[in-house]
Structure 1
Amino acid sequence: MKFRLVATCIAACMFTLNAANAASVTLKLGHIAEPTNPYGMGADHFAELVKDYSKGDIEVQVFPSSQLGNQRDLVEGLTLGTVEMTLTGTAVLGNFAPEVSVFDLPFLFRDTDHAYKALDTIGMDLCKKYVEPKGMITLAMWENGIRHMTNNKRPIRTPKDMEGLKVRVMEQPVYIELMKALKASPTPMAMSELYTALQKGVIDGQENPLSQIATKHFYEVQKYVSLTAHTYAPEVVLISKFAWDGLNDSQKEIITKAALETKDWQRQLCRDLEDKFAKTIVEGGAEINDDVDKQAFIDATKSVWELYSKKYGNETIDAIVNVK
């Protein structure tokens, strides 16, 4: 514990000194997506905007594909001051600030517009209240995408088709309870381990947006892709408070502006590339099934909402549902 405290203090002091004394500031941004993933492309776009707006005085170095660690490692690095920036899902962030995992409840949003409005208001407020005290500043909420089920056993049309499947999930209680509600066997696992686990048959399936299924080549080791659309996954843009406190007001304004401008650009990119990713998946040999009984899935997963409500109450859920 003492070692971690000393390490964080050193990291904070070093960053502050570098920002104050150097002619430019360098921020390392790590994420787990491939560069061809829409939020991977968003990270690169953000870095270019920061460079342009700062006239080269601020450099954001992007490290994709888990080069700096998995999502949990990256978020923990922010709290310790060993990583400056990351993109992460609310599911992983929920391990550090459980209240934000409300956004991973199944079938929470009516559509993407509903998700955007809720995230840009309630989402940002929740992050300020619960994430910032953990040592992380939320700059914006980008998009990972709408998550779907894949497996090697059968197309998923009703909750009954999920029974007995061994499915990889993120290391987060909401997704674990989601699979239990569907009578599947949840297997928490980092994304970096997933392809090999599918290839070796350690698990039957997984769930992710089409962008991840395509860019991580999961279609090579999964036969069936079923468009369950069970959750919408935001991608939160975070900067360590150690790094943030080492920036001057002008630098903070530039970074915030770039993150917010990239948000709209990146969300639109997700919509624009959806058909391309679907085509890649089908051409790669997997079968996409859209014949899904959504209402049956909604009914089967209401128990996940109830578990969250017991812990944190209904106020936030009701506020999100009622966003117009």
Structure 2
Amino acid sequence: MFARLSITALLLLGLVFTLTAEGNQESGSASGEITEEIVIKLGHIADPSHPYAKGAEEFARLASEKSGGMIQVKVFPSSQLGGQKELIEGITYGSIDMALVGTAVLGQFQPQISLFDLPFLFRDRDHAYESLDTVGMELGEELEKNGIKLLGYMENGIRHLTNDRREVTSPADMKGLKIRVMTNKIYIAMMKSLGASPTPMAFGELYSAMQQGVVDGQENPSAHIWTSRFFEVQQYASKTAHAYAPEPVLISMVTWKKLPAQARDIILESAKEAISWQRQLSTDQDNEFWDKIIATGKMKVTEVDRQPFVEATNPVYAEFAEMVGQANIDAVQAIK
């Protein structure tokens, strides 16, 4: 389930005692005010120009501003602190303070949070936000048993399909395509239901894998397709909108428990404001990214009739209802 021990060891050696090594934050009561500078390391896998990478920077700015410079959040993009599994593992140990990761990976620690990976779950973005801010936060409470505190959900975006073999307008066109997916049972089942051959792979390996033909394609929001330049190695994009991808904002319980009450309040407030800001940015930039992708002339972008894709993926709900909780599915679908 986790990365190899050697990776964990490197994380622990390189990053452990983050809180004490840079500012000795343990001096100062966890029930009182900030008395010394607090330095927090936050990692994610995205390019710095990605909307949720900018959300991380906005969170850092707000935390510094609200604390009068006493809280400094250092952001490490582009998998500098490891892939998503390594980031989550580091948070559980306390060797990484904060991270932005996908629910597809986080679901390995709290299976019910994989609810949000189900295909065609949300009607629109507003439905997604309301679901995440209610049902999603309730499910996130279970993460604390594993040393992880959920602060809220930023947005990765709406996921679409790309490939380098043929234009895809229906599930029939996906037959036999090797599509990279995250290491997530729901995404694997989703791609199988559409006739594709799912290939789990770390995000950092994806560009070269497509370039070398190891996989035929992938599925991601427009932000990743543009900022990671997938259009250079993929000829076709199909706007399937088959899934919405939240981006949970996590903090280590090891870190959280060491923070003074004043710092906790500032981090919670900063996270809330940064999430709202980032969601709007992501929405605004979605169409802009597609316009830029089309303008390159390297990728054909196709609008598709989504109903056949919806019907093809319906069996995924029955397969995972027990894992994610039928009551949770019902709660999301009941939100108006």
Distance 1:249 1:309, change over 3 A: same
State yes or no: 1:20 paired with 2:26. Answer: yes
1:27-78 CA-to-partner distances (Å, cap 9, x unmatched) read 0000001111100000011100000000010100000011111111101110
One-letter amino acid matched to 1:62: V
State the SS of the aligned residue for 1:18. coil
- Return the alpha-carbon distance in structure 1 between the equivalents of residues 65 and 81 of structure 2: 25
The answer to whether residue 47 in structure 2 is matched with residue 68 in structure 1 is no
Q: 1:219 aligns with which of 209, 223, 231?
A: 231
**Does the Cα contact within 8 Å between 2:20 and 2:26 map onto a contact in 1?**
no
Which AA in structure 2 matches 1:18? N
Cross-structure match for 2:136: 123
Please point out which of 189, 199, 209 is paired with 1:187: 199
TM-score normalised per structure 2? 0.91
Residue of structure 2 in register with 1:235 after alignment: 247
2:215 pairs, out of 203, 207, 216, with 203
For 2:287 and 2:328, locate their aligned partners in 1 and report how far apart those are by CA, in whole Å. Answer: 33
Instruction: Give the CA RMSD over aligned residues.
Output: 1.9
**2:307 maps to 1:295:** yes
Paired with 1:225 and 1:187, the residues of 2 have a C-alpha distance of 18
What residue number does 2:30 align with? none
Q: Which among 309, 316, 322 is matched to residue 328 of structure 2?
A: 316
After the TM superposition, list the runs of 4 or more consecutive aligned residues in structure 1 that deviate by more than 6 angstroms.
none
Distance 1:122 1:152, change over 3 A: same
**Which residue number in structure 1 is paired with residue 263 of structure 2?**
251
Report what 2:32 is aligned to. none
The aligned counterpart of 1:33 is 46
State the secondary structure of the residue aligned to 2:155: strand
Q: Which of 119, 122, 126 matches 1:109?
A: 122
Counterpart CA distance in 1 for 2:81 and 2:63 is: 21
Counterpart CA distance in 2 for 1:195 and 1:13 is 35
Residue of 47, 50, 62 corresponding to 2:63: 50
Q: What amino acid maps onto 1:32 in structure 2? A: I
Structure 1 stretches lacking a partner, 5+ long = none
Contact 1:12 1:242 survives alignment (8 Å): no
Contact 1:78 1:240 in 2 (8 A): yes
Which of 273, 282, 290 in structure 1 is aligned with 2:285?
Answer: 273
CA distance in structure 2 between the aligned counterparts of 1:17 and 1:52, rounded to whole angstroms = 18
Deviation at 1:96, TM superposition (A): 1.4
Deviation at 1:17, TM superposition (A): 8.8
Mean alpha-carbon deviation: is it higher for 187-196 or for 19-28?
A: 19-28
How big is the shift at 1:216?
0.3
User: Displacement of 1:293 after TM fit?
Assistant: 2.1
In structure 2, what is the Cα distance between the partners aligned to 1:190 and 1:201? 16
5+ residue gaps in structure 2?
Answer: 28-34
CA pair 30-312 structure 1, distance change in 2 beyond 3 A = closer
Q: Which amino acid aligns with 2:103?
A: T
1:312/1:147 CA distance change after superposition, 3 Å: closer
Give the deviation of 1:200 after TM superposition: 0.4
> For 1:193-236, what per-residue CA distance to the aligned partner results, in whole angstroms no more than 9, with x for missing partners?
00000000110000000000000000000000110000000000
In structure 1, what is the Cα distance between the partners aligned to 2:185 and 2:237? 24
Q: Percent identity?
A: 48
